[in-house]
Amino acid sequence: MQKIGVMTAMSGEMKHLCSNQKFEQKIAQVEFWRGQIARKEVVLAACGLGKVNAAQVACLLIHHFQCQSLLFSGTAGGLDPNLEKGDVVIAKSVICHDYGRMENSELVVYQPGNMPSSAQNQKHGYFLDEALQAKLESSFKAPTLQKISQKKPQVVLGKILTGDTFLNCKTTRQKLFDKYQAQAIEMEGAAMAQVCQNFNVPWLIVRSLSDLSVAEDGDPLAKCLKIASYNSALVACQLIKQSLTAL
C-alpha cells in the first residue's frame, strides 16, 4: 500500500485532514501522526513555518517513514487579482522567490542550491510531473468549498511562490505578481518540492487563500484561516481519494 506524507505548516491546518490520527513519535521537536484518508495510509506532520522546517520534515517523511509521495496542505496569501479568499491553488510550479544575489539594489533570483553567478542560465522553480498534471486536469473533481467572500470558491492549477517573509504589503504584492504572474505566496512549498526532487519523490502542494497579501480589509483573520484551512484540506483529501497524489 502506498504511504503518503501529508504536511501542513500549523497544527490548525492539520486537524481538518482526518479524524482518526494516532500519535506516532516526536522527532526534532515535530510530532508525527499516523492515520487514514480514503483508506490510504498517511503520515501527518505540522512542520512549522518556513523553508527550513519544511525541508526537515519532508526529509523525515521520505527517509524515516518511507513515504512514497508528499502532499502539502495549508493556507496562503493571494497574488493574482482574479482570485478571492477561499479559492484553492494546486501548484503546477513553485518558485523560491527569496534566494539569489543582490545587484543594483534588486534581488536577482536563482534556483536554490546553485551558485548565484551571472554565468548560470537556469530554469527557476520546481514543476509538477507532466503526467500527474494531465491526470489532474482531466479527472479531478473539485469538492464543494466554504465561502469567505461572496464569490463561490474555485480550484485552479497555478504558480506558487515561496519565501521566508510573510507578505502584508500591497506594493510588493503587485511587484511579485507582475514579475512571476503567480497565484499565491507562502513559506514552505518550494523547500518541500526541492527535497522531493532530490529524492525523486512525487509532490503536490495545495493552498487555499486566507488573505490577499495586503493589510487586513475587515474580514477576521482567524475566521479566514479556519475556512481556508478547511478548503485546502478538503481538496487534499479529494486528491488522495481519487489517487491523484502520484502516478
By CB neighbour count within 10 A (0-12 exposed, 13-18 middle, 19+ buried), where does 199 fall? middle
Q: How many helices (H) and strands (E) does the chain have?
A: 6, 12
Answer for the pair 22, 34: CB distance below 8 angstroms, yes or no.
yes
- CA of 109: how far to CAs of 11, 55, 128, 175, 194, in Å? 31, 19, 20, 14, 15
Q: Which three cell numbers stand for residue 69?
A: 509521495
In 3D, which of 73, 84, 76 has the Cα closest to residue 217? 84
Q: Cα 225 from chain centroid?
A: 15
As a whole number of angstroms, the distance between CA 90 and CA 41 comes to 22
Residue of 84, 106, 211, 219 marked catalytic:
211
Neighbours of 196 (CB within 10 A): 23
Active site residue 219: no
As a whole number of angstroms, the distance between CA 225 and CA 210 comes to 5
The residues that are catalytic are: 13, 211
